[in-house]
Structure 1
Amino acid sequence: MASGHYGYDRLPPIRHGLVEIDHAVFEANQAHIRSAVITTENSVPLGYTVPAFATVDDAVRRVTLDDIVANGPAVLIFYRGAWSRRCTEALRRYERELLPELYRRGVNLVGISPQLPDGSQYTRVLNNLTFPLLTDSGNVIARTLGIAHFADPNTMDTVERAGYAVGKRNSDGEWELPHPTTLILDHRRTVRFIDVRVDGLPPTHPKDILAELHS
């Protein structure tokens, strides 16, 4: 699938509205202070075995969950999409501060969003990411994990006024999104760590992810 088929190559960075607020929150939390793990009443608990699934990466290559955890633990980062500065800032930070250590430990890192593969490709190329970005078609995986939600009207209006018609770029054409979430699975697809960042909270800190893998 060619990059830019849905117009991603023509989209400017968003620098105002809700996404700018997201960025300010992220910048204010650069200094690491260990934060509590957040879960919701709907999110799956520790010990939950995630059902096997198959999806595609940004090059439309088939990827299965069993592939991801074949050699041991894996870190799954659920993010909202290319339009969210807070999410893309976090992905870049994970590339810099998390991926080298995960690589040394033989731990896979993947990003997952509901956007179509060319949106994932836009995200990866624009942010110089080297780890895979996968499509959660119809938010099936996010729903299974209890981390999916529908964006509020104010968020939709703000983002769409900036030129990002998210519903047209998500695989099911809807404004359903995952809460930004970090998941650590073992080789049996069992949840060993889940952190659901709701209400504009900063993403899970790389040091906290590494601490969980070390424990």
Structure 2
Amino acid sequence: MTLQSKLDAFKADFEAGKPPYNVPYSVIETMHRATAELIASGAAQRALKAGDMLPEFSLSDPDGKIVSSTDLLAHGPLVISFYRGVWCPYCNMELQALQEALPQFQALGASLVAISPQNPVNSRKSVRQNNLSFPILSDPHNDVAAHFGLRFEMQDYLIDLYKSLKNDLPAFNGDPSWTLPMPARYVVGQDGVILYAEVNPDYTRRPEPEDMLPALKIAAGRSAV
């Protein structure tokens, strides 16, 4: 079963109001409105693409260790996944799929990191809940996401919805700004050039981990030269 088919099945149950979700349709309508507006804004088209240079970053893992893109690229190509947080079921399913694909990435000499705005406590929860063995990094205020062109400000009506659902992003993130990153996936060669980029303003859509293998094979070939 592909990652997207799992996401589609979850979405169908959630939007049908099946237990344990039982959400009113007005909630679904608001989420659809927010997604449609983000798509229409063209934000995804302005994000970094294949051929662009990676913005260097240094972020903390849940234990406070600083992980830098420079150090990671010194050892081989890099896969980066930007996700919204442990509160997002779509993100958790994506992280699990990336964990399953990790041996394929490692066989090509690549490292994998995931980046979210959540604080270290919730990053530890991401690791524990999804049985992850790759670094989860905290991006305070979505600053690194902004350098990639991924950060967006949530509209007031969406903030009100999140509050009504007890989804307190300022508490999750330790940041009062109510911003999120668009989910995104990147493959970066050791020279810092982005070889693969997938950005989707619809948070229910995620690329398959296998979609990155062609770019990783190219990167591995360049690294061997």
Q: TM-score range by the shorter chain?
A: 0.7 to 0.9
Q: Does structure 2 retain, via aligned residues, the 8 Å contact 1:69–1:187?
A: yes
Taking the TM superposition and a 5 Å limit, the aligned residue runs for 1:1-215 are: 15=21, 17=23, 40-96=44-100, 98-215=101-218
What is the deviation of 1:164? 2.5
- Which amino acid counterpart does residue 112 of structure 2 have in structure 1? L
SS of residue in 2 equivalent to 1:146: coil
What is the deviation of 1:121? 0.6
What is the deviation of 1:59? 1.1
What is the deviation of 1:201? 4.4
Q: Does structure 2 retain, via aligned residues, the 8 Å contact 1:139–1:178?
A: yes
Q: Does structure 1 retain, via aligned residues, the 8 Å contact 2:43–2:150?
A: no
Q: Which runs of 5 or more structure 2 residues have no equivalent in the other structure?
A: 1-19, 29-41, 219-225
What is the deviation of 1:68? 1.7
Moved over 6 A (4+): none
SS of residue in 2 equivalent to 1:194: strand
What is the deviation of 1:39? 8.2
Change (3 A) 1:16 1:178: farther
| CA–CA distance in structure 2, aligned partners of residues 17 and 82 of structure 1 | 19
Change (3 A) 1:152 1:88: farther
What is the deviation of 1:161? 3.0
RMSD of aligned residue pairs (Cα, Å): 2.4
- Which amino acid counterpart does residue 90 of structure 1 have in structure 2? E
Would you tell me which structure has more helix in proportion to its own residues? 2
What is the deviation of 1:16? 5.3
- Which amino acid counterpart does residue 60 of structure 1 have in structure 2? G
| CA–CA distance in structure 1, aligned partners of residues 80 and 200 of structure 2 | 14
SS of residue in 1 equivalent to 2:45: coil
SS of residue in 2 equivalent to 1:182: strand
Q: Does structure 1 retain, via aligned residues, the 8 Å contact 2:44–2:200?
A: no
Count of aligned pairs between the two proteins: 184
Q: Does structure 1 retain, via aligned residues, the 8 Å contact 2:61–2:120?
A: yes
Please report the TM-score for the alignment, with normalisation by the length of structure 2. Answer: 0.74
C-alpha deviations, 1:43-82, integer Å up to 9, x for none?
A: 1232222232211001111111112211121100000001
Please report the TM-score for the alignment, with normalisation by the length of structure 1. Answer: 0.77
| CA–CA distance in structure 1, aligned partners of residues 192 and 136 of structure 2 | 19
What is the deviation of 1:126? 1.1
